[in-house]
Amino acid sequence: MYKFGFDIDGVLTNEGDNDNNIWHKTFIDHFGDKVKKVSDSYDFREAYNLPDSDIIDFLNENKEKIFSSVPPYQEAIEFLNRLKEQGHKIILITARHEEFRDVTEKWLSRNNFSYDKLYHDENKAPLALNENLEIFVDDHRDNVRDIKSVGIPALLFTRSHNLNASEDEYTARVSNWQEIKDYIKNYYLR
């Protein structure tokens, strides 16, 4: 039995790319066409060059809606279910604030995700260590770097905001669920 760890946003959720990204589209709906993405930063303030107060208003109004309506990766659902059936454990660690636990649990259940534990915590490396995870998959380079640095293999799910991560920050890059499945099968499911 192995314990596999996954991030939620950008890993289980299929947010879409570039102009089709659900966050970007909601930004345009909220602020109008005048708002432009100025960088690929993970941080919305930097990505859209907007003041904190605008971002806070935007998130207060839209976060819950996005969390409940974002589509999942179908392959992720199938693969997590398969891992569970084979007796492995699934640990989800999200940086979403605890206040979004309810909407997150409902989304996971509505989409038929199998998992054993759901943590809401920004500081993922100590939890990953404590849970003795075999591997963790995340799209945020800081999390991947931190988790790798405590000795747990960490896969970086490629996104526009993490393209400049250097090779020593992650164990491997993956750009889709097929690559995640291949990696895990190859190393753990022989």
* Amino acid letter, 9: D
- In the residue annotation, 19 being an active-site residue is answered as no
Q: Nearer Cβ to Mg ion, position 10 or 153?
A: 10
Lookup: tokens for 38: 């100025």
Q: In what order do the strands lie in the sheet with 135-138?
A: 117-120, 89-94, 3-6, 135-138, 154-157, 172-174
| CB of residue 96 to Mg ion, shortest distance in Å | 9
Of the candidates 9, 138, 139, 146, the residue annotated as catalytic is 9
Containing H/E element for 79? Answer: helix 74-85
Q: Which two tokens stand for residue 113?
A: 């995700």
Least spacing, CB of residue 30 vs Mg ion, in Å? 21
Interface ranges with Mg ion (CB under 5 A):
7, 9-10, 139
Closest to Mg ion by CB, 9 vs 51, is 9
Q: Can 7 be counted among the known catalytic residues?
A: yes
Nearest residue (CB) to Mg ion, 69 versus 86: 69
As a whole number of angstroms, the distance between CA 86 and CA 158 comes to 28
Nearest approach, Cβ of 148 to Mg ion (angstroms)? Answer: 16
Q: How far apart are CA 86 and CA 175, in angstroms?
A: 25
- Token pair, residue 150, equals 């405590």
For the annotated catalytic residues, the residue numbers are 7, 9
